[in-house]
Amino acid sequence: MHYKQNHIYVGLDLHKDTHTAVIIDCWNEKLQTIVIENKPSDFTKLLNKVKKVAGNLTPVFGLEDVHGYGRSLAVFLLEKEQIVKEVNSALSYSERMSYPTTKKSDDWDAQCIANVLVRMLEKLPDANPLDLYWTIRMLVNRRNAIVKSITTLTNQLHGQLCNNYPSYKKFFSDVNSKTALVFWENYPSPHHLKGVTDEDLAELLRKPSHNSCSTRKAKTILEIVESDGDTLREYQEARDFIIQSIVRDIRFKSEEIEKVEAEMKKLLALLEFKLETIPGIDTVTATTLVAGIGDINRFRNADKLARFAGIAPVNFSSAGKGKDKQSKQGNRQLYATIYFLAVQQIQVSKGKKTPRNQAFLEYYNRKVSEGKTKVQALICVMRRLVNIIYGMMKNKTEYVMPTVELKEAV
């Protein structure tokens, strides 16, 4: 008897509110469809129904998303010592599109997942929804959401300030810096500055600016406001309130980011990775890398990680003719993180003309001199970074800067 005949296969199409399960045998014959709600009490019902259909056979569950809507079910099944496989959504999509007549429904999606489960049983990875990596990923998503919200609020602040202070961009280098926010909150429009002296304004701004705001700077701001002319309009008080409300919201969200980053640092310390020892990597970047990569032990080598991130080239050929091309697949968020990290490694300071990482800059220049384009050379830097990151996470070691002769960048 073939080993696949010892199992029944349960494909699950996962959603926020409900999950649809389709049970098939090793011959791809549909046995039953089960629809449950996404809650623990229904997970028990699903398992009991599957066991009833299975009889003496061993059920194998296939889930597309074990880190999102299907995570709770995956954890439940693993706690019940069931076989749970993670099915890549690209495989189920390919299965669905392989039929002459394509269709889309929860029932059909679940059956396609089950079909993939039968065909690729020995190749599919075991589901491993680790709580720590899942929580880190949620923190990264939370921080990204707050940053996006601050960007929206900053754009709204620009829209309000241009009416009250036509030359507001000359006041501060960053419109939502701590010093600028104090100014906008106390003086949302020019008429609030009546009777305010240079020293009064400088005294207000010294604390948030850490004593970097001088009386001369305050005088310059007041002169610019005076040269802009009178911007007082009807319902000015309501518009002033809008500016002050935006400032309070930006300040609150900035404080939330600091709290989220503190929690990131706390969880990152539990993994004992030393990614921050690489130049250009702080706690946020290190956490983003860990969230994108997950458990490093699921990759047998750095080549697998590079393919997962979409950095490894893909071969396109036919009849012996073709070439390797840049991949557009893989985890694009992880790709973007490694891309910007690679850019930082070859950066050169404007003043002293010294590179951040001399070894990577020389490697980049060597690839360019070999005939590669700048984009291709940068991808080579990314590929080398993957090797380094993989080794550091696998062995929990620090980054050691290669000893090279320091040269001034041209």
Domain of 254, CATH number, reads 1.10.287
Same structural domain for residues 286 and 361?
yes
Q: Does the pLDDT at position 408 exceed 50?
A: no
pLDDT higher than 80, residue 333: yes
Domain shared by 102 and 15, yes or no = yes
Q: Do residues 279 and 260 both lie within one domain?
A: no
Looking at residue 208, its pLDDT comes to: 93
Q: What distance in Å separates the CA atoms of residue 174 and residue 208, rounded to the nearest whole number?
A: 13
404: in domain: no
Domain with residue 90: its CATH number is 3.30.420.10
Q: What is the pLDDT of residue 410?
A: 39
The answer on 152 and 114 residing in a single domain is: no
CA distance 385 to 337: 11
Whether 31 and 122 map to the same domain: the answer is yes
Are residues 113 and 92 in contact, defined by beta-carbon separation less than 8 angstroms? yes
**Boundary-marking domain end, from 100, 129, 158:** 129
Say whether both 65 and 179 belong to one domain. Answer: no
Identify the CA nearest to 128 among candidates 85, 164, 96, 89: 85
Domain boundary among 74, 109, 129: 129
The structural domain count of the chain equals 3
In this prediction, residue 20 has a pLDDT band, given cuts at 50, 70 and 90, of very high
Do 123 and 145 reside in the same domain of the chain?
no
In a domain, 74, yes or no: yes
pLDDT of residue 107: 94
Indicate whether 408 belongs to any domain: no
Q: Of the residues 106, 129, 152, which one is the last residue of a structural domain?
A: 129
The reported pTM is 0.84
**Is 321 part of any domain?**
no
Query: Of residues 284 and 324, which shows the higher confidence score?
Result: 284
**pLDDT at res. 404:** 64
- pLDDT tens-digit profile of 248-261? 999 999 999 999 99
Write out 13-57 in H/E/C secondary structure. EECCCEEEEEEECCCCCEEEEEEEECCHHHHHHHHHHHHHHHCCC
pLDDT at 382: 96
Examine the domain organization and report whether 164 and 284 are in the same domain. Answer: no
Task: Provide the pLDDT for residue 132.
Answer: 92
Distances, alpha carbon 274 to alpha carbons 207, 290, 342, in Å: 35, 11, 18
pLDDT at 367 over 70: yes
Query: Is 409 a residue whose pLDDT tops 60?
Result: no
**Are 146 and 32 in the same domain?**
no
Give the domain range for residue 118.
3-129
Query: What is the rounded average pLDDT for all residues in the chain?
Result: 92
For residues 304-329, average pLDDT: 84
pLDDT value at 407 more than 70: no
Q: Is residue 324 part of a domain?
A: no
Distance of CA 84 to the CA centre of its chain: 26
Q: Comparing 83 with 349, which gets the higher pLDDT?
A: 83
Per-residue confidence at 239, pLDDT binned at 50, 70, 90? very high
Asked if residue 172 and residue 108 are part of one domain, the reply reads no
349 domain residue, yes or no = yes
Q: Do 164 and 285 share a structural domain?
A: no
Of the candidates 34, 35, 32, the residue with the CA atom closest to the CA atom of residue 18: 35
Kindly state whether residue 49 falls inside one of the protein's structural domains: yes
Residue 389 has pLDDT above 50, yes or no: yes
In a domain, 65, yes or no: yes
Q: Are residues 225 and 195 in the same domain?
A: yes
- In angstroms, the CA 228 to CA 190 distance is 10
What is the DSSP pairing of strand 7-14 with strand 58-63?
A: parallel
Please give the full DSSP string across 140-190, using - where no structure is assigned: HHHHHHHHHHHHHHHHHHHHHHHHH-TTGGGT-SSTTSHHHHHHHHH-SSG
* 184 in Cβ contact with 162 (< 8 Å): no
Tokens at 397, concatenated: 């070691």
Q: For residue range 70-122, what is the model confidence (pLDDT) as tens digits? A: 899 999 999 999 999 999 888 999 999 999 988 899 999 999 999 999 999 99
